[in-house]
Structure 1
Amino acid sequence: MRLDIAQGRLAGITRDVAPDAADERHAVALPGLPNLHSHAFQRSFAGGAEVRGPSGDSFWTWREAMYRAVDRLDPDEIEAIAAQAYVEMLEAGFTRVGEFHYLHHGRDGGAYGDCGELSQRIAAAADATGIALTLLPVFYAHGGFGGQAPTHGQRRFINDVESFGRLMESARHAVSGLPDAVLGIAPHSLRAATVEEIAAILPLAQGGPVHIHVAEQTREVEDCLAWAGRRPIEYLLDTADVDARWCLIHATHMSEAETLAMARSGAVAGLCPITEANLGDGIFPAPAFVAAGGAYGVGSDSNVQIDAAGELRLLEYSQRLALRARNVLAMSEGRSTGEALFAAALKGGAQALQGSGSLTVGAPADIVSLDAAHPSLTGRSGAAMLDGWIFAVAGNAVDCVWRRGEKLVAGGRHRARESVRARFRAALDKIAA
């Protein structure tokens, strides 16, 4: 099969054709996966909260440690950290990232001269590394359900509706020069944004995607029930026009009725299995959701470990552990589990980020090749290649990655790996000083 590329897009796909001498040849080509949920700045904090506290640990104690880490970051460090995360994503087979960006202000909580300074730094990191960007500026106004006052640790995130409108204008300008860039919007959560505020900011998305954290933790569910008398997803679906533009991040703790209602809404479930395991969140009810027609994609969230195949593997393995069964998300007899996972994450991620989800004529040439000589891929073909990559490879079997037809990764290494890594090390040395 020959893929012809012109102006960054697939111009032709020809089957059963002999290669020309000038053709670059690879054994396995896949569409690049979308990473639908990232907090790039948290890459600096990866592995930084793995010491047990005096009374046990949870998501909430991790969050306080993360707030302390945020206090040390300036714009140059944030850009360097984001670039490192994006290099690692490309090397893992992600070609588009949904950056759920909620770090907006200076270390004292004051606005920068340009309120979109840090959105511009995210765009600069995407530009330098070549990853496709869906930027999701986060609206964050409160510290808990019912419009509670934010805490000191949240001071760098906070906007009101008016200041957030200015931030969105700056963010739109920041991504305007990036190829295939998308601007969406992200009310952080029902804890951090009231439904009235969510309704007020939605027009700022101008048709772009809408992402929100919801029902990640059992305490969140309990607090929502105590405040509103309804569970978080029940409350969101009752009070907002949730549709296929929306991506509900985590949605871990749902009743059966919520699971079916979310699937019917058309919203994508944004699953981050590695982070959810690291934080002790819980296990998403995937079989029931998928059986009801629900769409899902995967993201690297806290970037504690950036591994496209690893997210898919842990998604399946968590279901196996919970249900004491195998090949759970294949969903039908005779289907490859790896193929089912990859196809679902590709489709759901593309919907959630409003990016391409296939290698078809006219689509951006975002291509990932696998090393067919890898011991865990040798002798495999078709869907079995995906099974080998997701379930059997130790390390990374991604060989090359093209974004808009430009080769960014060769031999598993991003072309800017060393320079980006040097900036990342310098940034971490500075904040540790």
Structure 2
Amino acid sequence: MTTITARRALLPQGWAENVAVTLGADGRIAKVETGVAGGAGLLLPAPGNLHSHAFQRAMAGLTEARGPGGRDSFWTWRRLMFHFLDRLTPDHVEAIAAQVQMEMLEAGYAAVAEFHYLHHRPDGTAYDNPAEMSARIAAAAYETGIGLTLLPVLYQQGGCDGRALGDGQRRFGTGTDDFATLMGHAATALAPLPDARLGMAPHSLRAIPRDVLTLVPQMTDGPLHMHLAEQQAEVEEVRTAYGARPVEWALDNLPLDGRWCLIHLTRMTDDETARLAPTGAVAGLCPITEANLGDGIFNATGWQAHGGTFGIGSDSNVLISLAQELRQLEYSQRLRDRARAVLAEDDRSTGRVLFEDATKGAARALGRDAGGIAPGMLADLVMLDDRSPDMAHRPGDTMLDAWIFAGVGGVRDLWSAGRHVVRDGHHIARETMAARYADTLRQLEDTP
């Protein structure tokens, strides 16, 4: 049994002083006590990262120059991404994934949902193990100690008109029967990870025929994630082909509930927001990537008003920072509405609303029994350093605000299902993984 002591902790019932949390050998919280002196730091439930494309981390900084034509967009970035991914081997993917997961843990995430669509060889043929690439994501999770929800992606067409996949999409495409085989091998790859979950991700309305998409909820009992309403061109394509906007079509044709996590949702109408929020589906928000790609601004105020649930993901992994994702979400609302403390509530500060709600939403989206410091829950915990003068003598909500908005009090320690993988601000195997990642980037630079 391991016991963690903290000067302050955020419990389900609110802030508590001098808290001791006892972890069981099963990776769950066995006991929570208050009034136990001698602790230091600010202990929080560690959220999951609900949307990641790990391999895109190796592209960070490579797509910021303006291309031919004078105007870049998501679609020009997408073409560069397709070219980049054709160079990746399974060894590359494992090394990149380990680096990404290590950086997530150091940023305060205890788990990740990997939206994994890089399945095949560059020519589109399957590896001997159809889930070879999924196995490499699982191997990285075994090394880093992060909690993993693996979401193999179903991707079958190049657009709503049913056109064939393009050259950049050949590594994604999988027939329905072959996908079932891939899922079986993916489950085998996850077996060594005691708290891993397997779900699936129908990529988007553009990439899946409608008759197949309606069968998706029967293909797994795990979480279901899907990109939805990210780009205006996507909205127009779906409306032209299906006679409805993406969110409208999904509401009318899919059994949306708490199993679903819908990624981005930056192109929703007020009516769609009001209808979708009560379903229990999680809005998977990736504010840094959405800003980087010029996607647009999620209507968080409308979503909040209708009782919607949200969580945070790092998506393209151009920058992995939990605090900055939360800050970007709030600041986008402020810039749009020309207001301050937009998501704050009468009894919770902005930072607390952002952190607490994103933590609970991510736990639902990952299908993970986490999201709070309470007996029986997975011991996904993060300890912030509270020694900064900006945090040391302030009340709990203000401490969270200082971390998110003032950038003080960084991650000191992190436990994922009881695994103490970040100590004194650094992952316990940082040097090994960082060296392998650096070597991978050198290899990619030498590849035409």
SS in 2 for 1:94: coil
Within 5 Å, give how 1:258-273 maps onto structure 2. Answer: 258-273=272-287
* Equivalent position of 1:6 in the other structure: 24
**Partner Cα separation in structure 2 for residue 359 and residue 315 of structure 1:** 25
Aligned counterpart in structure 1 of residue 358 of structure 2, from 332, 345, 368: 345
Confirm or deny: 8 A CA contact 1:161 1:200 kept in the other structure.
Answer: no
* Equivalent position of 1:220 in the other structure: 234
Regions of 4+ moved over 3 Å: none
Aligned counterpart in structure 1 of residue 180 of structure 2, from 165, 170, 180: 165
Letter in 2 for 1:10: I
Aligned counterpart in structure 2 of residue 253 of structure 1, from 267, 285, 291: 267
**Partner Cα separation in structure 1 for residue 203 and residue 156 of structure 2:** 9
Q: TM-score under structure 2 normalisation?
A: 0.93
Letter in 1 for 2:218: P
Aligned counterpart in structure 2 of residue 85 of structure 1, from 75, 100, 113: 100
State the Cα distance separating 1:257 from its structure 2 match: 1.2
State the Cα distance separating 1:225 from its structure 2 match: 1.4
State the Cα distance separating 1:148 from its structure 2 match: 1.9
**Partner Cα separation in structure 1 for residue 379 and residue 255 of structure 2:** 34
**Partner Cα separation in structure 2 for residue 375 and residue 274 of structure 1:** 28
Deviation string for 1:105-146 (max 9, x for gaps)?
012211000100000000000110000000000000111113
State the Cα distance separating 1:3 from its structure 2 match: 1.0
Within 5 Å, give how 1:321-336 maps onto structure 2. Answer: 321-330=335-344, 332-336=345-349
Q: TM-score under structure 1 normalisation?
A: 0.96
Greater mean deviation of Cα atoms: 271-280 or 215-224: 215-224
**Partner Cα separation in structure 2 for residue 292 and residue 202 of structure 1:** 25
SS in 2 for 1:14: strand
Identical aligned residues as a percent: 52
Confirm or deny: 8 A CA contact 1:92 1:308 kept in the other structure.
Answer: yes
* Equivalent position of 1:151 in the other structure: 166
Letter in 1 for 2:421: L
Aligned counterpart in structure 1 of residue 44 of structure 2, from 11, 30, 39: 30
Confirm or deny: 8 A CA contact 1:3 1:13 kept in the other structure.
Answer: yes
* Equivalent position of 1:283 in the other structure: 297
State the Cα distance separating 1:334 from its structure 2 match: 4.9
Report the CA distance shift for 1:326/1:312 in structure 2 as closer, same or farther (over 3 A): same
Letter in 2 for 1:180: D
* Equivalent position of 2:36 in the other structure: 17
State the Cα distance separating 1:418 from its structure 2 match: 0.5
* Equivalent position of 1:422 in the other structure: 435
Letter in 2 for 1:267: A
Confirm or deny: 8 A CA contact 1:195 1:240 kept in the other structure.
Answer: no
State the Cα distance separating 1:375 from its structure 2 match: 4.5
Confirm or deny: 8 A CA contact 1:272 1:301 kept in the other structure.
Answer: yes
Within 5 Å, give how 1:311-330 maps onto structure 2. Answer: 311-330=325-344
Deviation string for 1:244-293 (max 9, x for gaps)?
11010001101111111111221000000000000000001111111111
Letter in 1 for 2:183: M
Give the gaps of 5 or more residues in structure 2.
1-18
Confirm or deny: 8 A CA contact 2:87 2:122 kept in the other structure.
Answer: yes
Q: How many residues align?
A: 425
Deviation string for 1:185-225 (max 9, x for gaps)?
100000101221123343221x2110000100111111111
Give the gaps of 5 or more residues in structure 1.
20-24
Is 1:66 the equivalent of 2:81? Answer: yes
Deviation string for 1:138-162 (max 9, x for gaps)?
0001111132211011000000101
Deviation string for 1:38-95 (max 9, x for gaps)?
0001111111100001221000000000011101100000000000000000000000
**Partner Cα separation in structure 1 for residue 215 and residue 305 of structure 2:** 34
**Partner Cα separation in structure 1 for residue 189 and residue 243 of structure 2:** 41
Confirm or deny: 8 A CA contact 2:53 2:316 kept in the other structure.
Answer: yes
* Equivalent position of 1:136 in the other structure: 151
Confirm or deny: 8 A CA contact 2:147 2:417 kept in the other structure.
Answer: no
**Partner Cα separation in structure 2 for residue 262 and residue 235 of structure 1:** 11
Confirm or deny: 8 A CA contact 1:99 1:136 kept in the other structure.
Answer: yes
* Equivalent position of 1:301 in the other structure: 315
State the Cα distance separating 1:178 from its structure 2 match: 0.5
SS in 2 for 1:304: coil
**Partner Cα separation in structure 1 for residue 437 and residue 338 of structure 2:** 41
* Equivalent position of 1:22 in the other structure: none
State the Cα distance separating 1:26 from its structure 2 match: 2.7
* Equivalent position of 1:383 in the other structure: 397
**Partner Cα separation in structure 2 for residue 376 and residue 151 of structure 1:** 52
SS in 1 for 2:110: strand
State the Cα distance separating 1:18 from its structure 2 match: 3.9
**Partner Cα separation in structure 2 for residue 200 and residue 263 of structure 1:** 23
Within 5 Å, give how 1:115-130 maps onto structure 2. Answer: 115-130=130-145
Within 5 Å, give how 1:342-421 maps onto structure 2. Answer: 342-355=355-368, 356-393=370-407, 397-421=410-434
